[in-house]
Amino acid sequence: MREMDPEKLFNKFKKVVDARDSQKIDKALYEHLHLHTGFIAHYDIHGFRETYSDRGFLDFVDHFENCFYLTYGKHGDFNQRLKAYILEHAADIRLEFQRAAELKELSLLNALANKHGLSVQPKAGSAAAAVPVRVDLESTISNSGQYEFAF
């Protein structure tokens, strides 16, 4: 396989990291990652994308954080650029995934409370009381003119 221009490959990697989306990994980037950065192939590109999709993206970040030998050898300098870029964004990535999980939990909590005619209020003085929570829900208007929400 012919090696791709490092700048093009780096830009592809940046798009994956910036979008937090393993589905944006193309064949050239996949080949580099599993051949030169210590990732296993996961059978094929589809298995690789699936493994590192959604919360699995955190494992993708962890790999760069914990794989020390990827900066050695012929591709070491380039891999160091990849590692530096993803680690520069690692804290934000983890925070975004943590916040998304918290919002999902709060949405489920509110849905259950509503189902049973209850409401949920944060404890006074808690960190949650200081942060307003906004959950976007899809809504439609039924034939009877009532709002209907999808959780």
Mean pLDDT of the chain: 87
- 77-130 tens-digit pLDDT: 999 999 999 999 999 999 999 999 999 999 999 888 888 888 888 887 776 665
pLDDT above 60 (res 43): yes
pLDDT above 90 (res 71): no
* Domain residue ranges in the chain: 6-99
> What's the confidence (pLDDT) of residue 142?
65
How large is the average pLDDT for residues 124-142? 63
Query: Do 139 and 145 meet the contact criterion of CB atoms below 8 Å apart?
Result: no
Report the predicted TM-score, pTM, of the whole model to 2 decimal places: 0.76
Question: What does R_g of the chain's alpha carbons equal in angstroms?
Answer: 21
